[in-house]
A and B are shown apart, each in its own frame.
Chain A
Amino acid sequence: ILNVEQSPQSLHVQEGDSTNFTCSFPSSNFYALHWYRWETAKSPEALFVMTLNGDEKKKGRISATLNTKEGYSYLYIKGSQPEDSATYLCAFLNTGNQFYFGTGTSLTVIP
């Protein structure tokens, strides 16, 4: 059993604001850290897969960083748009192919 924690649990931002969330995870048996975006009534979709300490990934206005030594990852959204509203889940993948998810951060972008 693993604890993967995300904060904040929910966030409301104005359109155009930049924001970031945190995912913390155990540093032992680490293989990868995944970020998923989950919109209501849809399936979670992968945003980023990061495996190396210091990894930084970017997709459009969204980026993520990884620190495996201290066990945290940040997800950043620059210039939030209403279509960014979703729940953002991080998942810790260990060396046994087990995925453990955090509780998610629910983002609402207010037009």
Chain B
Amino acid sequence: DAMVIQNPRYQVTQFGKPVTLSCSQTLNHNVMYWYQQKSSQAPKLLFHYYDKDFNNEADTPDNFQSRRPNTSFCFLDIRSPGLGDAAMYLCATGDGTGGRITEAFFGQGTRLTVV
């Protein structure tokens, strides 16, 4: 059974139209990550939550926002998608209750296309 679920698997959005990607988990992990992966590049960390604490990477554009209403759900909001935001978006979770996570568990990703 999938433990980290991303919806939708494929998302097509219009240039400039706000879009939200969803991630849910059944693992009760306190750490959640969002990554952006473009073709042939490394998955790039956008931000992560440690419990409710939001940690933004310094080079994450302001166009990308995130919400974590509870332990199970985390959302990635792209306020005004540009063509350059087309990518695979990966969500991952980790159990950080001991202070450090030991393994990341990934969803299958959402492939975003901007037209």
Contact = CB atoms under 8 A, between A and B. Distances in A.
Interface of A: 1, 4, 9, 31-32, 34, 36, 41-46, 49, 89, 91, 93, 95-104
A97 B106 contact: no
Contacts of B40: 9, 103
A19 B31 CA distance: 34
Contacts of B81: none
B104 A31 contact: no
Contacts of B109: 43
A108 B2 CA distance: 26
Contacts, number: 65
Given A89-B43, A102-B42, A34 B104 contact: yes
Interface residues of B, number: 30
B62 interface: no
A104 B42 contact: yes
A91 B33 CA distance: 13
A95 B48 CA distance: 14
Interface string B84-107: 000000101010100011111111
A97 B43 contact: no
A88 to B, nearest CB: 12
B108 A42 contact: yes
